[in-house]
Amino acid sequence: MALNLNLEKDIERSLRDYWEILYKRRFVFIVVFLASFIITALLVIFVVRVKYKATAMIIIAPPSVQVVKDKEVSIRESYDVTNEVHAIQGDIIAAKASSYLKNNNEHNLNILPGEIKAMLGVSNKLKTDIIEISAISHDRYKTFFVLKAIIAAYIDDAKERRDKMVKDLYTALSNQLEQKRKEIEIAENALTKFLLDNEIIASALEVGTSEIETGAADKNELTKEPQINEKYLLLKSQKMDKEAFLEEIKNYRKQDDITALAVIAKREPNMVDLTLRDALYEKERELVKLLVTQSELHPDAIAVKGEVEEAKKKITFEVDRAIQSLEISIKSLGVEEGKLRKIIDVGLSNKMVEYNTLKRDLEVKKSVYANFLNELQVINVADKLQDVPFLRIIREPLLPTEPQVSKPMYLLLALIFSFTISGSVILVLENINISIERVEEVEEILDIEVLATVPSWKKRQEVAKEEGAVDVGLVVSRHPRSVISEAFRMLKNNIRFINADKKLKSFVVTSANPQEGKSFICSNLAIIMAAAGEKIVLIDADLRRPSIHKYFNVENKNGLSDYLLGEVTLDSIKTHDTKFENLKIIPSGHIPQNPNEILGTRKINELIEKLNKENNIVIIDSPPVLAVSDSMVLSAKTDGTILVILANNTTKHSAARAKLLLKNTGSNMLGGILNGVESGRDGYYYCNHEYYTNEK
């Protein structure tokens, strides 16, 4: 629960930060947004042309011819849709479509093939047999006619490929038949030569076979040998047939399991269940019908597609079972063949075995040749190709009536684009801004508490100069009820909280760089604290560029440097009274040549100790930390240090460096003051001045 609360707080803080960035740079955001939106809107209205898209869908299943060695030629529905997609996207279809448009009197469009390819879009829906063909153009009529031309060109190209397929089929059949005829001639010549060379053995075999067929009871050795030989050859023939059948199944299975199932069913109808193929075809037709009217991601389409995959798995299992049965049968026949072979080796002449082998080989070759010849006579190739599903348009191209993206939609996109660009610009400006702007940045980078945020006083200073005022920088005196005065009161209260145990007697006010308002802070803070009844002494320790005497319009004589150089004693050092009760100042005195060295002497310690005893608070205005090392010397001699940061001016690096240098001297960092905050920023640290006063 605590983790969730912390997460919610982090999210809320992050959103608040982004909102503050947006509000801070709202004028930049508005200017960039208006500029980008006006430009993009003008481009949409006068430059951008809407595009029209025409779409058609076809089912594609081109037939292919498969010729297996020593087996029949078959035509089956095998295809590669990916190759057809590439064919439609190719140069040939584009060139034919261009010629079709140019020569057609109705269209009379002269469109180059390259332009047609640029307009064309082809995709395969969920890897099924459906191909979507589309054309996109600025002219809706041009889009429509180009799509029709592409489909017509593709159908013509498909017909040409089909005609070439028929020619290849006849050539393959003729070559196979001639090869089988030559094999029969070779087998017949070998058997004839064997009979001529072994005439007596042939006669004996015929007599032995005759006796076996008549079932004579008293069988001599001659009749037993042909009987065993015939059985051996029968087993060998059965084994050869089954091995050839198994090889045929495996060859067809390389294409797919559906063809292998059909081959098994044709030879051995009882070995497999052919209805599995019909069930698969039914599911595929159902999937195609669904995709015509529904999306590929529709639950019904996904479900049917799963049923198609399940039907294919059943066919695969059925073919595996049939192959396993054949392998077992072949192995059993091999065992029986081996037993008979041993008997033949003992009592049967090798020549008798050779004769029957040659005879059986001739019979097998004649059977194969007869099968090829029968296929050639029975199958009408043209009719069979015509029956195979090839191309079917399931969505005709229609003349588009609405553009892909309308101009109002373009304007909406322009609006979104303008918001994005404006937001990106202010985020980039925010990231490249290396100066400190907000209280959160001070606390995050410097890890110190912000004691107060002081609004910018430049406008009031300019007004005071125009009026000829002497105390221009003493804003709390000139405008005691202003929001700036309230900021200094808040600073005084925060310092009082730090000084709750009365141990804080003296502190240094410094900054990272010159011109960041440390003297302004010291002067006005001293007035506010003195007005609260505390005895305050303000020391101008900036011995290089002193300014405190200018704020209070006093002479810069007998000051701090004069005491440190020994020109005046501790008791005679000039402490100037001011028009403000309880507030005295010690000016810097004349500017010495070696400020750092004289500030490091024991005299400064004695002065601070004396003033601490006589007053409630001693405020020391010291030089910038990064400019000289005076502040580091002084901060080590006082009870604490306050670092002034000028908003939108002090860089993050310089502030962090200044704080590090002060910490290295052992200084007690009391906190920081964010000075010069523009009106409206960090308003949650001080209320709108109208809450306190009507003073402008």
Q: For residues 27 and 143, state if they share a domain.
A: no
Distance CA 582, CA 580 (A): 6
**Same structural domain, 101 and 46:** no
Q: Are residues 539 and 582 in the same domain?
A: yes
Q: Please write the tens of the pLDDT for every residue from 593-619.
A: 888 888 888 888 888 999 998 898 999
pLDDT less than 70: residues of the chain: 1-14, 61-79, 105-108, 125-127, 166, 169-170, 173, 195, 197-229, 342-353, 372, 374-390, 433, 459-471, 499-502, 574, 679-696
**570 and 635 inside one domain:** yes
pLDDT (0 to 100) of residue 343: 57
- What is the per-residue pLDDT for 695? 47
Place of tokens 């399991």: 257
Q: 70: phi > 0 → left, psi -120 to 50 → alpha, else beta; which?
A: left
Q: Are residues 425 and 467 in the same domain?
A: no
In this structure, is residue 24 part of a structural domain? yes
Asked whether the beta carbons of 513 and 627 are under 8 A apart, the reply is yes
Q: What are phi and psi of 641, to 5 degrees?
A: -135, 140
Q: Are residues 453 and 308 in the same domain?
A: no
Last residue of a domain, one of 432, 460, 487: 432
Instruction: Give which of 536, 547, 614 is closest to 578, Cα–Cα.
Output: 536
Domain ends where: 432, 455, 483? 432
**How far, in Å, CA of 173 to CA of 176, rounded?**
5
Distance between CA atoms of residues 5 and 242, nearest Å: 77
Q: Does an H or E element contain 35, and which? A: helix 26-46
User: Please, what is the average pLDDT of the chain?
Assistant: 77
93 assigned to some structural domain: yes
| pLDDT in the model for residue 244 | 83
* Residues 456 and 422 placed together within one structural domain of the fold: no
Largest CA distance in the chain: 162
Say if 509 falls within a structural domain.
Answer: yes
Contact in structure between 71 and 90 (CB atoms under 8 Å): no
Q: Which domain holds residue 255?
A: 64-395
Q: Is 409 a domain residue?
A: no
Bridge partners (DSSP) listed for residue 393: 58
Q: Are residues 46 and 187 in the same domain?
A: no
**Containing H/E element for 617?**
strand 617-621
d(CA 304, CA 290): 9
Number of residues in the chain: 696
- Strand residue runs (E) in 61-197: 64-67, 73-76, 120-124, 130-137
Same domain, 329 and 389: yes
Going 179 to 185 to 186 to 191, the CA torsion angle's sign is positive
In this structure, what is the dihedral angle of CA atoms 199, 204, 206, 207, given to the nearest 10 degrees?
Answer: 150
Q: Which residues pair with 620 in a beta bridge?
A: 508, 539
Task: For Cα atoms 548, 551, 557, give the angle at the middle one, nearest 5 degrees.
Answer: 50
Same domain membership, residue 156 and residue 138: yes
Q: How far apart are CA 400 and CA 252, in angstroms?
A: 46
The pLDDT of residue 691: 44
Number of structural domains (the chain) is: 3
pLDDT tens digits, residue range 487-536? 999 999 998 887 666 678 899 999 999 999 899 999 999 999 999 888 99
Cβ-Cβ contacts under 8 Å for 689 (sequence gap 6 or more): 482, 483, 486, 695
In a domain, 413, yes or no: no
Considering the domain architecture, whether residues 484 and 427 belong to the same structural domain is answered as no
- For residue 402, being part of any structural domain is answered with no
Q: Is residue 644 domain-shared with residue 557, that is, in the same domain?
A: yes
Instruction: Let me know if residue 313 belongs to a domain.
Output: yes
The CATH number linked to 676 is 3.40.50.300
Rounded Cα distance, 270 and 457, in Å = 104
**539 inside domain:** yes
